[in-house]
Structure 1
């Protein structure tokens, strides 16, 4: 059977998308190459037509996910837009559906244990997001604090079992970040 000229690119994109969802839902290290390929209907051996290693796939996932986070949360922000983004970020929907949200709360520990190349790549995108928020907030340190607080709040909320406690964590974090965003900078 002959494949279209774009078949390899389309398959690689499918693998990247499927693997991103799987990594955000279950963790990247928990699924083997065969499982990742089976999810898109191919054999494990076909994996190496697209990536030289599972680490290379992880690097591509990190780059893709953090670039998308920057696109959603970084560009063209003002304080009101930033606050609306954070309200969505600090939501029960985001707690309940990690596969559709930010990669940092679910993959942060795996990124931290990765080689320096992946960590540098993550650093690049995280710093770009922080810099865009710092411009809006007119404060480098406030941007780091809010970024860290939001990721941490999501991690804590996901660790809890009781939905009411999860909501309290999210609301407390949102209320505090909103207060910080609304405060005029001196």
Structure 2
């Protein structure tokens, strides 16, 4: 049976959505093609009709997920001074710690992306640079934008590595206090 182009595109999006969530939760290297397709409600045999390789899927997942992170973190209409507090409210949360499948791909996949092929690393770089440019425009400093991004991603990685919620909350709160002390904002908010 031959499917329409729109059906194929919708199926591809379903695989990207389900596969993206799965690899952010379980890791890319340990997730097989059958698992990726099963997460989308399909059989493994259909994978190569949508993607040329598993690396091609990772590339698309990274690009898509970083764009989502950029849109979420730097929502339109937040040009006032509250943008930093609002961004940290969305990123440095216990929900983000506990549910990597719904958040930024960098804390979950950065080490795997670093070992990926050049095209995948370029896709990641492109997404990261887009986020950095948006933040730099608000901070008037490209270097400080990279610092803010690094601190947020690093804090989330560390918070995910510890066993207790108390320590994880402390890591997130410490990062937030440092960032707000440097860039201004309301450091009294706690990680939820």
TM-score by length of 1: 0.92
CA distance in 1, matches of 2:35, 2:10: 19
Residue pair 2:33, 2:44 contacting (<8 A) in 1 also: yes
Match of 1:160 in 2: 162
Post-superposition offset of 1:40: 2.2
Q: Is the 8 A contact 1:20 1:61 kept in 2?
A: yes
Q: 1:48 to 1:165 in 2, by over 3 A?
A: same
SS of residue in 2 equivalent to 1:161: coil
Q: Specify every segment of 5 or more residues in structure 1 that has no aligned partner in the other structure, as ranges.
A: none
Moved over 6 A (4+): none
Q: Which residue number in structure 2 is paired with residue 135 of structure 1?
A: 137
CA deviation string 1:16-59 (max 9, x = no partner)? 10000001101111111111112222221111110111111111
Superposition map of 1:98-109 within 5 A: 98-109=100-111
Checking the alignment, whether the CA contact within 8 Å between 2:62 and 2:124 is kept in structure 1 is: yes
Tell me the residue number matched to 1:43.
Answer: 43
In the superposition, the TM-score normalised over structure 2's length comes to 0.89
- Tell whether the 8 Å contact from 1:18 to 1:39 is kept in structure 2 after alignment: yes
Residue aligning to 2:67: 67
Specify the alignment match of 2:11 in structure 1. 11
CA shift for structure 1 position 15: 0.5
Q: Structure 1 residue 75: deviation in Å?
A: 5.5
Aligned to 2:28: 28
Is contact 2:73–2:91 with CA below 8 Å preserved after alignment? no
Residues in 2 aligned to 1:74 and 1:37: alpha-carbon distance in whole angstroms: 32
Q: Tell me the matched-pair count.
A: 183
Unaligned ranges ≥5, structure 2:
186-192
The CA distance in 2 between the partners of 1:171 and 1:75, in whole Å, is: 22
Name the structure 2 match of 1:182: 184
- Deviation of residue 2 (structure 1)? 6.2
Query: Residues 136 and 142 of structure 2 are in contact (CA less than 8 Å); yes or no, is this contact kept in structure 1?
Result: yes
CA distance in 2, matches of 1:141, 1:5: 44
Give the corresponding residue for 1:171.
173
> In structure 2, how many angstroms separate the alpha carbons of the residues matched to 1:150 and 1:132?
15
Return the alpha-carbon distance in structure 1 between the equivalents of residues 47 and 127 of structure 2. 26
Distance 1:125-1:40 versus aligned 2 partners, 3 A rule: closer
CA distance in 2, matches of 1:177, 1:4: 50
Question: Within 1, Cα distance between the matches of 2:23 and 2:5?
Answer: 29
